[in-house]
Structure 1
Amino acid sequence: MPDQNLPAFIGTGWAFPPDFLMGSHTVRMSDGVEDIEQSLRILLSTLPGERAMRPDYGCDLTPLLFEPLTTTLRTVTEDRVKTSIYLHEPRIEPLRVAVSMADANAGMLLISVDYRIRSNNTRHNYVFDFYQSEGTET
């Protein structure tokens, strides 16, 4: 159901991950802040070059996977995230991007994005979990 308080500029799109509704034979849609946050999740987890029609789309965090968890890593990550948002998500303005080392032993970074929706000036926060080392112990 569309959020009546948000203008059409924010838009409506397929929910992510795609979910099909059995009874109505339709795709579940997302709108408003939910749509923006799903878009941010897709942007931050997409590598440039993965999309055939938009080869520049994405946020290239993979070169940072094997870097030590330092202040330099935090600064570079913040810059890449903010630049990607400016280039690919025109509905919002990133106000602050902060990277915290939630669990250094697990290689997990929390990327927090404070943003303003341009069309209605409301502020929100989104947190993206970035794992430096994915996998399981064997």
Structure 2
Amino acid sequence: MKSKIPFLGTGWGFPPEFQIKQKCIKMLSDEEDIESSLSILLSTRLGERVMVPDYGCNLDELLFEGLNRTLITYVVELIETAILYHEPRIDVIKIDISETEPLEGKLIIEIDYRIRATNSRRNMVFPFYKEEGTDLN
């Protein structure tokens, strides 16, 4: 299916998946590509991408910090700045961080945004936490 809005783009799915029967790589388009891009941006550390060293959020560095209003404000600023510089297809409307599970070590980050090309509003919920290595094969 061809994209009706070429500005929204098409990119590889992450992690890359190879579809052997079709002899191609799984691609994401339009809104699905934007949401995947946001998820990658939020989970990437600064310097992790060699050719784009300022790409990412460094949320991992805040993993063991005490959860208070100062930290939440700082995380919101980190995310807004990263999106501003690295995701030109959207405008952030609001970022809300839920403190419902602080003892579980989990932050629920809800990002409300507007897609510039279509002027449509969407939201994404990104659970930020570190899983233990107990479910390994």
- Give the TM-score normalised by structure 1: 0.91
1:17: which partner in 2? 15
* Counterpart position of 1:53: 51
Q: Which amino acid aligns with 1:81?
A: I
Deviation at 1:136, TM superposition (A): 5.3
Partner of 2:131: 134
**Aligned in 2, Cα 1:53/1:9: closer, same or farther, shift over 3 Å?**
same
Deviations 1:100-124 (A, max 9, x none): 1231121100111100011111100
Is the contact between residue 74 and residue 100 of structure 1 (CA under 8 Å) also seen in structure 2? no
* Map 1:1-138 → 2, pairs under 5 A: 1-4=1-4, 7-131=5-129, 133-135=130-132
In structure 2, C-alpha distance between the alignment counterparts of 1:62 and 1:28, rounded to whole Å: 28
Unaligned runs of 5+ in 2: none
Partner of 1:16, secondary structure, is coil
Which has the higher mean CA deviation after the structures are superposed, 49-58 or 64-73?
Answer: 64-73
Mapped to 1, the partners of 2:67 and 2:56 lie a distance apart of: 22
SS where residue 51 of structure 1 aligns?
coil
CA contact (8 A) 1:99 1:110 kept: yes
Q: Taking every aligned residue pair, what percent have the same amino acid on both sides?
A: 48
How many equivalent pairs are there? 134
Q: Normalising by structure 2, what TM-score?
A: 0.92
| Long gaps (5+) in structure 1 | none
